[in-house]
Amino acid sequence: MTKGTSAIPDNKTTAFIDDARGMIALKATWEIEALAKELIERSKSIGEDHCDLWHESLFIKSVSMRIKELNSIVIGAAGDGTESLSRLEQRLG
């Protein structure tokens, strides 16, 4: 892999130096993704008729969506290799 490129070499599974560590990181991100999706889905079940809970659910949903986005950035950086570094940095903010 040359400097500035995002391609993962053919002999590698992840963008990590150590593929075993990379796979652990990816497995963790997959679980984070599932948890964030679950929080988002559960926040939808609180209706506007419960105003305090509804505002809390909006907060939970917002935080969950950011967690999901951050997790996606980690996946892109660690295991995808198709997204450019500049795009990953842009998504990170």
What does the pLDDT look like over 24-67, one tens digit per residue? 777 888 888 888 888 888 777 776 666 777 778 788 888 888 98
Task: Say whether pLDDT at 4 is over 60.
Answer: no
What pTM value is reported for the model?
A: 0.60
Task: Say whether pLDDT at 2 is over 50.
Answer: no
Distance between CA atoms of residues 23 and 13, nearest Å: 8
More confident position, 52 or 2: 52
Distance between CA atoms of residues 52 and 85, nearest Å: 41
